[in-house]
Amino acid sequence: MSDELLVVRAQLGDRSALEELVARWQTPVWTYVRRMLDAQRADDVAQDAWLAIVRALPRLREPERFAPWLFTIVRRAVANHLRDRYASRTHQTVRDLDDLDPSDTLSDTALHDPIGGLLDRAEAVAHLADLPVPEREVLVLHYLEDLSVADCARVCDVSVGTVKSRLHRARRLLRERLEEKGMEA
């Protein structure tokens, strides 16, 4: 069954379709949150994101564009969480994910601790934590969540050109990190 059909059924009030939609997208949503935050907070923020998704679902007018819509909401949940964290810690104003420092979103221990740090894809994933948030975000959306460049632009509320330049910079930074590690080894 296609995502669009599931979304339409869920919008009609079919509870089982909604449950299947959650089951199908739970891991992608969690993966995005996990790449932006550490493991301790990923589950809670993903749950908050799901609550926001379910509350907004009746108002979704383009069910065929579910994925970018979904990640827009998840991104907002992550930004809200980080904004609250910043506010309680430093009273600094954070308007968007672009304003954040990498160390505030994903700590090294989150990716390297022996229990929680069982990483899924290539070794490169371990270096995501070192990337600046805007670059890390488009990298996760484009390569881990398989969103198109246009959908990434929509989710991040920036132009396609900006997404392309961030992807380019992210790839370059990642390559540099991997080369550094290779040279050390």
Our CB check for another protein shows the closer of 39 and 158 to be 39
Our CB check for another protein shows the closer of 54 and 178 to be 54
Minimum gap (Å) between residue 85 Cβ and another protein: 19
Longest dimension (CA), the chain: 57
Residue position matching structure tokens 């961030």: 166
Q: Which residues bind another protein (CB under 8 A)?
A: 1-2, 4-5, 8-13, 15, 18-19, 22-23, 26-27, 30, 34, 39, 42-43, 46-47, 50-51, 54-58, 63, 116-121
Our CB check for another protein shows the closer of 41 and 75 to be 41
Minimum gap (Å) between residue 113 Cβ and another protein: 11
Minimum gap (Å) between residue 10 Cβ and another protein: 7
Using an 8 Å Cβ cutoff, are 163 and 152 in contact? yes
Our CB check for another protein shows the closer of 120 and 176 to be 120
Minimum gap (Å) between residue 150 Cβ and another protein: 23
- Per-residue HEC secondary structure of the chain comes to CCHHHHHHHHHHCCHHHHHHHHHHHHHHHHHHHHHHCCHHHHHHHHHHHHHHHHHHHHHCCCHHHHHHHHHHHHHHHHHHHHHHHHHHHCCCCCCCHHHCCHHHHCCHHHHHCCCCCCCCCCHHHHHHHHCCHHHHHHHHHHHHCCCCHHHHHHHHCCCHHHHHHHHHHHHHHHHHHHHHHHHHC
Our CB check for another protein shows the closer of 23 and 93 to be 23
Minimum gap (Å) between residue 92 Cβ and another protein: 27
